[in-house]
């Protein structure tokens, strides 16, 4: 288990403030944030490349804050993978064991298992520059695992791959992680990657942890407008809470009123956030729905995408819906079309500290 | 003229310049003089002296340049900029001035103490090595720094997360990946030392069979208006230099394929 406690690091003019997070064995924890948010600084501090001003890094119960890199017990797969180009794949995989003087027989069993599991047996005599992107990723992962780390640090390792290969490797990583009950800390700005791989998520902005928790909670209920914007919530609009009754809040947004779940201590001025995939579109004059919010709306624009297209609506305030292409065709969605946009009350998330409208 | 034609013409001009200089030797080339020069004990002594001094100077320069270049490439430390600037000293200051500075140093109390109690440099073989060492050190550090810059730090970090100590990571990852730069730095330092004249003559003088290197021998032949002898020695020097460069290209080619 990794425990990071109040870690404060200065790097040039940048400062990482009081970062705390925990990664239990067998769990993947994603650190999310845009460029310049402090992800790399955190990673470098964990690796021991940057000395912290304050705070502690505890791995498997041992304080590793001041230990040199090679004695920390982290496995590391950087964005560029860091494969040694002058060594064969086999020598890359056994490098760590040789450096640490692990007996050859013990090492061979572990490497053989990992090689067979990841299907890279035919690559052992090749050199990294001759491998494809996917093959290189597999070798990078196996090499890190072969050193039997107590925690695997992944720094956006799948960024350079195409979508299908990336998903294939996500599955492989998830299976390996669960089989080996490995703690993984994934640093990424790829929301889909974090959502697929991680159980818990930490969002870093400007060197501070702004939100942390179960991924569904963080993605579904961002605590601040900046988090919502980073997490790609399609609709963000300021609103005013008119009343709260039996746990439901009525919020004035643009020229309409929405019903949302009320949380304790809800301020009067809020930012209404609605994820595009939570908006259901019906043909105008369609049947009844259980959704508390059924808003007559006019289609302003349809931006085709794969697999989801983004539909921009005027529902009394700017509202964005993500729908599949077949759904777009069935409803014959085009600018000027009138539809009903349905949003369930739990999908209308109210964020305190409303800023200006984000729009698209 | 297109960019392609212009740049190829410039490359041809470089070849024409140096090729023309070598070919112009033919005007005063005398086979008998070359034969006599090659068989002369004095010339052979100058060749031996030049090869030995250049090899020692280049080796010593690399022994200091490798760690210094690595520090400049990887670490931020106080005085780093100063060290980086001082590397250009042998380029901006003429070799003769560098030699004069060495001579002045050995006339200072510390230099005199070294001369008396440690190693005698002035008008001695050690002086040739020292003069060449001082002249080539900056270039060697500069070349090696570039070589280390080209090895991603990330590889060393990964090696260490795999359990390698800094020293193990350096010897197994950094050094092998910088080997082309290392070979190139040694050869260029060696070639520059072989042709070094200004600093050598200042510190070691021109004593035949003792401190007379090939460039010094060429100067002395020319000073005595022996053009055929001068050309013969130049041919010897150019042949040694070109053979060394050819061997290096073969070696580097093999290094790449290895």
State pLDDT tens for residues B125-162. Answer: 999 999 999 999 999 999 999 999 999 999 999 999 99
Domain count, chain B: 1
Look at A146 and A105; give whichever has higher pLDDT. A146
Determine the residue of chain B that is closest to A154 in CA distance. B158
User: Does residue B163 have a pLDDT over 60?
Assistant: yes
Say yes or no: A135 and A238 in one domain: no
Residue B153 lies inside a defined structural domain of this protein? yes
**Residues B169-180 pLDDT 10s:** 999 999 999 998
Q: Test B163 with A70 for CB contact under 8 angstroms.
A: yes
CATH number of the domain bearing residue B140: 1.10.3720.10
Confidence at residue A286, expressed as pLDDT on a 0 to 100 scale: 63
Residue B169: list chain A partners with CB under 8 A.
Answer: 99
Residue A86: list chain B partners with CB under 8 A.
Answer: 176-177
Look at A360 and A166; give whichever has higher pLDDT. A166
**Residues A176-234 pLDDT 10s:** 888 888 999 999 888 878 888 899 999 999 999 999 999 878 877 778 778 877 887 77
How far off is chain A from B123, nearest CA to CA, in Å?
47
User: Does residue A354 have a pLDDT over 50?
Assistant: no
Q: Test B155 with A84 for CB contact under 8 angstroms.
A: yes
Say yes or no: A50 and A186 in one domain: yes
Residue A48 lies inside a defined structural domain of this protein? yes
Say yes or no: A13 and A81 in one domain: yes
Say yes or no: A214 and A266 in one domain: no
Domain boundary among A193, A220, A247: A220
What is the share, in percent, of chain A residues with pLDDT greater than 70? 95
Say yes or no: A193 and A268 in one domain: no
Supply A341's token pair.
Answer: 């946009």
Q: Give CA–CA dist B211/B203, Å, rounded.
A: 10
**Residues B38-86 pLDDT 10s:** 788 888 889 999 999 999 999 999 999 999 999 999 998 999 999 988 8
Q: Which residues in A have their CB inside 8 Å of a CB on B?
A: 47, 49, 68-70, 72, 74-76, 78, 80, 82, 84-86, 95-97, 99-100, 143-144, 147, 149, 153
Distance between start and end Cα atoms, chain A: 41
Confidence at residue A357, expressed as pLDDT on a 0 to 100 scale: 36
What angle, rounded to 10 degrees, do the helices at B95-105 and B125-149 form?
120
The confidence band for B258, taking pLDDT boundaries of 50, 70 and 90, is very low
What is the share, in percent, of chain A residues with pLDDT greater than 90? 44
CATH number of the domain bearing residue A346: 2.40.50.100
Say yes or no: A78 and A150 in one domain: yes
The confidence band for A292, taking pLDDT boundaries of 50, 70 and 90, is confident
Residue B188 lies inside a defined structural domain of this protein? yes
Domain count, chain A: 2
Q: Considering CB atoms only, which of A78, A86, A95 is closest to B154? A: A78
Q: Give CA–CA dist A290/A276, Å, rounded.
A: 18
Q: Considering CB atoms only, which of B152, B157, B162 is closest to A99? A: B162
Residue A226 lies inside a defined structural domain of this protein? no
Domain that holds residue B229: 30-257
DSSP string covering A289-303: -S-SEEEEEEEEEEE
Alpha helices, DSSP H only, in chain A? Answer: 39-47, 89-100, 104-118, 133-146, 163-179, 191-197, 215-220, 225-230, 325-331
Confidence at residue B50, expressed as pLDDT on a 0 to 100 scale: 93
Confidence at residue A359, expressed as pLDDT on a 0 to 100 scale: 35
Task: Identify whether the C-beta of residue B220 lies closer than 8 Å to the C-beta of residue B206.
Answer: yes
Q: Test A95 with B160 for CB contact under 8 angstroms.
A: no
Confidence at residue A360, expressed as pLDDT on a 0 to 100 scale: 32
**Residues B207-236 pLDDT 10s:** 888 889 999 999 998 988 888 888 888 988
What would the mean pLDDT of A50-54 be, rounded to a whole number? 92
Residue A359 lies inside a defined structural domain of this protein? no
Q: Give CA–CA dist B130/B56, Å, rounded.
A: 9
Domain that holds residue A179: 2-220
Look at A339 and A233; give whichever has higher pLDDT. A339
User: Phi/psi at B97 (nearest 5 deg)?
Assistant: -65, -40
Say yes or no: A103 and A150 in one domain: yes
Say yes or no: A238 and A304 in one domain: yes
Say yes or no: A10 and A139 in one domain: yes
Say yes or no: A50 and A132 in one domain: yes
What is the share, in percent, of chain B residues with pLDDT greater than 90? 55
**Residues A92-138 pLDDT 10s:** 999 988 888 877 777 788 888 888 888 898 999 999 999 998 899 89
Say yes or no: A90 and A201 in one domain: yes
Interface confidence (ipTM) of the complex:
0.77
């Amino acid at each position: 288990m990794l425990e990071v406690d109040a870690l404060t690091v200065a790097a040039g003019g940048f400062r990482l403030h009081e970062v705390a997070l925990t990664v239990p064995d067998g769990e993947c924890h994603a650190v999310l944030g845009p460029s310049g948010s402090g992800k790399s600084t955190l990673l470098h501090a964990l690796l021991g490349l940057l000395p912290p001003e304050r705070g502690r890094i505890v791995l498997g119960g041992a304080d590793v804050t001041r230990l040199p890199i090679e004695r920390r017990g982290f496995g590391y797969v950087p964005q560029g993978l860091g494969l040694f180009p002058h060594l064969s794949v086999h020598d890359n995989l056994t490098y760590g064991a040789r450096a640490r003087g692990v007996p050859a027989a013990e090492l061979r069993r572990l490497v053989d298992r990992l090689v067979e599991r990841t299907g890279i047996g035919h690559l052992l005599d090749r050199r990294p520059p001759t491998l494809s992107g996917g093959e290189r990723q597999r070798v990078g992962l196996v090499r890190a695992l072969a050193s039997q780390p107590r925690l695997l640090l992944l720094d956006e390792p799948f960024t350079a791959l195409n979508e299908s290969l990336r998903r294939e490797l996500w599955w492989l990583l998830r299976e390996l992680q669960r089989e080996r009950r490995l703690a993984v800390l994934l640093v990424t700005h790829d929301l889909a990657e974090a959502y697929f791989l991680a159980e818990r998520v930490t969002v870093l902005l400007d060197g501070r942890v702004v939100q942390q928790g179960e991924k569904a909670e963080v993605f579904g209920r961002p605590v601040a407008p900046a988090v919502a914007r980073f997490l790609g919530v399609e609709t963000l609009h300021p609103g005013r809470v008119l009343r709260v009754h039996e746990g439901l809040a009525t919020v004035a947004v643009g020229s309409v009123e929405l019903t949302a779940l009320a949380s304790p201590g809800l301020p009067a001025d809020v930012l209404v956030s609605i994820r595009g995939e939570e908006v259901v579109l019906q043909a105008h004059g369609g049947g009844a729905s259980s959704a508390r919010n059924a808003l007559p709306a006019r289609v302003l624009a349809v931006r085709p995408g794969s697999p989801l297209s983004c539909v921009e609506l005027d529902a009394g305030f700017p509202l964005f819906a993500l729908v599949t292409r077949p759904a777009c065709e069935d409803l014959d969605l085009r600018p000027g079309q009138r539809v009903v946009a349905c949003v369930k009350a739990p999908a209308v998330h109210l964020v305190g500290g409303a800023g200006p409208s984000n729009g698209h | 003229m297109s960019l392609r034609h212009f740049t190829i013409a410039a490359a041809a001009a470089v070849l024409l310049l140096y090729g023309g200089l070598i070919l112009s030797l033919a005007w005063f080339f005398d086979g008998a003089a070359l034969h006599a020069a090659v068989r002369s004990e004095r010339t052979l002594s100058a060749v031996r002296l030049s090869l030995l001094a250049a090899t020692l100077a280049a080796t010593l320069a690399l022994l200091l340049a490798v760690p210094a270049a690595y520090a400049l490439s990887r670490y931020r430390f106080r005085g780093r900029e100063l060290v980086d600037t001082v590397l250009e000293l042998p380029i901006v200051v003429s070799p003769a001035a560098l030699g004069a500075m060495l001579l002045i140093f050995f006339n200072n109390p510390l230099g005199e103490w070294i001369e008396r109690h440690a190693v005698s440099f002035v008008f001695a073989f050690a002086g040739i090595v020292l003069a060449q060492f001082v002249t080539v050190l900056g270039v060697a550090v500069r070349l090696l720094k570039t070589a280390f810059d080209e090895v991603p730090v990330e590889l060393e970090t990964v090696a260490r997360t795999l359990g390698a100590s800094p020293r193990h990571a350096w010897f197994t990852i950094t050094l092998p990946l910088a080997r082309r730069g290392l070979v190139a730095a040694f050869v260029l330092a060696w070639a520059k030392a072989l042709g070094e004249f200004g600093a050598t003559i200042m510190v070691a003088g021109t004593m035949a069979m003792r401190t007379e290197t090939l460039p010094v021998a060429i100067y002395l032949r020319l000073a005595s208006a022996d053009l055929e002898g001068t050309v013969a020695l130049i041919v010897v020097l150019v042949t040694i230099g070109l053979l060394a460069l050819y061997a290096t290209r073969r070696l580097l080619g093999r290094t790449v394929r290895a």
